[in-house]
Structure 1
Amino acid sequence: MEFTVQQIADLLQGTIEGDSQVKVNSLGKIEEAQAGALAFLSNAKYEPYLYTTGASAVIVSDKLELKKAVAATLIRVPDPYTSFSTLLSYYQTALLASKTGVEEPCFLGQNSQVGENHYRGAFSYIGHNCTIGNNVRIFPQVYIGDNVTIGDNTTLFAGVKVYTNSVIGSNCTLHAGAVIGSDGFGFAPQQDGSYKTIPQIGNVVLEDDISVGANTTIDCATMGSTIIRKGTKIDNLVQIAHNVEVGHHTVIAAQTGISGSSKIGNYNVLAGQVGIVGHITLADRTTVGAQSGVGKSVKEPGTIIQGSPAFDYKQNLRALAVFRKLPELQRELESLREGKFTEG
């Protein structure tokens, strides 16, 4: 695909410095881009590359003051990073739109309906009584169980598994290998030391505008629903257990695990390898640092915690500073003890 700088500027509502009719046909990093590529500059430490880049056009801040002449055509916008992200979204949408029709072999169950302009890849399976919206892209080897609902403009990449009764909203993206609606980890201990399986008869509900990363698993509820609210973004290799509720526009990084029946507030940030115990609540706008273990509820909105067990971020940093000095402090303590005994 090839576009003029003017077309891109119109899309981003930016202003042009240079030749508006220059054509670009690819996207690239500012330090590596060659002729025909479009790059962007949002981090000041990369500004030197602006004056040496081979890119034909660069998206920059409308507040950037140039230190020397620039060969590339500039597109000035209020926020280059957001504008470039918008452009990537349009580019990805255009690529996905090229996928249409039905590849064989694939299966569509009885009483299931698929909307207009959809794509179903080879070896995909859609069960009975399903409702699939318009512009949905279902890549090869996707499994969709019975009674599943999927909204418009949602993409399920190769190997996604969606269990029976799941509900997936519009404008969602499920990356390869994601599993939606598998059994929650429910086992009742018996007197003889064995475990009895507790049937998991609930479902999973993903609201609109949700991204689920590769090989992430979201378990169905024991009863009721495991719910992921609108706009939440989930990284690869995340485990979300049964009856968890995740609020609006929360981000969850890789290798995080959330135990059953916990409630994660709106606009939370869970960094990588966070572990959260079951049956607790995190207030809105809570931030949990990487590798933290959260063992109790967070009640105050806007709290930042870190550590295992997790507690206030600043206190944790002070505690770590002391922890690093423990060998030295131990030596000093031993010296004081020896001196005391000598004086006695």
Structure 2
Amino acid sequence: MDFKISQIAHILNAKVEGNPDLVVNNIESIEEAGEGSISFLSNPKYENFIYTTKASAVIVDHKFEPKEEVKTTLIRVDDPYLSFTALLEEYHKMISFQKLGVEEPSFMGSDSSHGENVYRGAFSYIGNNVTIGNNCKIYPQVYIGDNVIIGDNTILHSGAKIYANCKIGNHCVVHSGAVIGSDGFGFAPQKDSTYKTIPQIGNVVIEDHVDIGANTTIDCATFGSTVIKSGVKLDNLIQIAHNTEIGKNTVIAAQAGISGSTKVGENCVIAGQTGIVGHLKIGDHITIAAQSGITKNINKKGAVMLGSPAFEMADYKKSYVIFKRLPDLMNRIKELEQKILNLPT
């Protein structure tokens, strides 16, 4: 897509220093950008590239003062990084929401409906009594079960699976291979050492502005709802178990697993390969470092946890100083024992 620099400046409320009528159609890093591309400069260590870049335009700070001749057009803003991010967001919206219409073959069941400007890709399946909002994009091979409700401006990428009775809010993105509403891990041990399946009859409720990464699985509740609150961002390959609740604006990195009935607070950061056991309560503004194992409640607001089992990072670092010296300390203890044994009686 082609854009004049003057159009971009209008979106960013920016000042143009150079030719506002130049056209750009690509976004690249400042060191790799070519003619027709736009880039940005926010980190001073990359300043040398602005004097050699082939980019047609570069977003810079109002305070930026070139030390050499700059051949590219400058777009001056208050914060180049935030402005470049905003530009990416606008560009992504244009690309993501440009598809319209219904491709065949596709299926929509009885008593189901959708709003305006909807795209339904080929081989997508929509069950009975489904309600889909305006401007939603349902890519090929998406499955949507019966009685599902989907809000406005939500994107379901190819191969996403939404089980029956689940609810997804406005402005959500579900990436390929994600499964929403699969059975929770409910099995009752029997006297003969077999397991009896416990029916999982609840659903999943996903609120607004939630992003769900590829191949992430969110299980339905045994009864009631598994709830993902507004603003949550889930990476790829995450397991959210039944009856779990994830608080607003919490972010979770890849390969994390959260067991059933755990409540995670707001604005938490959970790093990759973290494991959280079931029926716990994690407070607000908690940070959990990568590969940590959480086995008890965390109530201290702002705590940073590390280790398996995890404890506060400051204490972990103190303990690690000792832990990594254990072989040396053990040798010293053996030497002291030998000296004690050799003392004259």
Equivalent position amino acid for 1:257 in 2: G
1:87 aligns with 87
Cα 1:260–1:44 change in 2 (3 A) is: farther
* Cα drift, residue 327 of structure 1: 1.8
1:105 aligns with 105
Give the distance between the partners of 1:297 and 1:99, measured in 2 at CA. 46
Give the distance between the partners of 2:330 and 2:28, measured in 1 at CA. 54
* Cα drift, residue 279 of structure 1: 0.7
2:265 aligns with 265
Percentage of pairs with the same residue: 56
1:292 aligns with 292
1:198 aligns with 198
* Cα drift, residue 166 of structure 1: 0.4
* Cα drift, residue 342 of structure 1: 2.5
1:215 aligns with 215
CA deviation profile, 1:282-320 (whole Å, cap 9, x unmatched): 111100001100111111111111111111111112222
| Of 157-166 and 51-60, the range deviating more from structure 2 | 51-60
* Cα drift, residue 6 of structure 1: 1.7
1:118-197 to 2 correspondences below 5 Å: 118-197=118-197
| Of 156-165 and 98-107, the range deviating more from structure 2 | 98-107
2:229 aligns with 229
| Of 248-257 and 91-100, the range deviating more from structure 2 | 91-100
* Cα drift, residue 336 of structure 1: 2.0
Give the distance between the partners of 2:324 and 2:341, measured in 1 at CA. 28
1:3 equivalent in alignment to 2:3: yes
Give the distance between the partners of 1:14 and 1:92, measured in 2 at CA. 20
Equivalent position amino acid for 1:292 in 2: S
Normalised TM-score (structure 2): 0.96
Q: Secondary structure at the match of 1:19?
A: coil
1:256 aligns with 256
2:316 aligns with 316
* Cα drift, residue 9 of structure 1: 1.5
CA deviation profile, 1:35-80 (whole Å, cap 9, x unmatched): 1111122334333322322211112233444443322222222332
Give the distance between the partners of 1:47 and 1:340, measured in 2 at CA. 66
1:327 equivalent in alignment to 2:327: yes
Q: Secondary structure at the match of 1:227?
A: strand
Cα 1:336–1:70 change in 2 (3 A) is: farther
Q: Secondary structure at the match of 1:205?
A: strand
1:38 equivalent in alignment to 2:38: yes
Equivalent position amino acid for 1:82 in 2: L
2:16 aligns with 16
Equivalent position amino acid for 1:255 in 2: Q
Q: Secondary structure at the match of 2:89?
A: helix
Q: Secondary structure at the match of 2:285?
A: coil
* Cα drift, residue 2 of structure 1: 1.1
Q: CA RMSD in A?
A: 1.4
* Cα drift, residue 337 of structure 1: 2.0
Equivalent position amino acid for 2:245 in 1: E
Unpaired stretches in structure 1, ≥5 consecutive residues:
none
Give the distance between the partners of 1:170 and 1:129, measured in 2 at CA. 19
Give the distance between the partners of 1:142 and 1:14, measured in 2 at CA. 40
1:303 aligns with 303
Q: Secondary structure at the match of 1:204?
A: strand
Cα 1:19–1:111 change in 2 (3 A) is: same
Q: Secondary structure at the match of 2:255?
A: coil
* Cα drift, residue 91 of structure 1: 1.1
* Cα drift, residue 95 of structure 1: 1.4
Cα 1:61–1:327 change in 2 (3 A) is: farther
* Cα drift, residue 151 of structure 1: 0.5
Give the distance between the partners of 2:218 and 2:49, measured in 1 at CA. 43
1:47 aligns with 47
Cα 1:35–1:213 change in 2 (3 A) is: same
Give the distance between the partners of 2:298 and 2:33, measured in 1 at CA. 46
Normalised TM-score (structure 1): 0.96
Give the distance between the partners of 1:121 and 1:37, measured in 2 at CA. 31
Cα 1:189–1:45 change in 2 (3 A) is: farther
Give the distance between the partners of 1:175 and 1:145, measured in 2 at CA. 17
Cα 1:332–1:50 change in 2 (3 A) is: farther
1:342 aligns with 342
Equivalent position amino acid for 2:186 in 1: G
Equivalent position amino acid for 1:214 in 2: A
CA deviation profile, 1:240-278 (whole Å, cap 9, x unmatched): 000100011110100000000101111000011111111
Equivalent position amino acid for 1:194 in 2: T
Q: Secondary structure at the match of 1:343?
A: coil
Q: Secondary structure at the match of 2:342?
A: helix
Equivalent position amino acid for 2:224 in 1: G
| Of 205-214 and 318-327, the range deviating more from structure 2 | 318-327
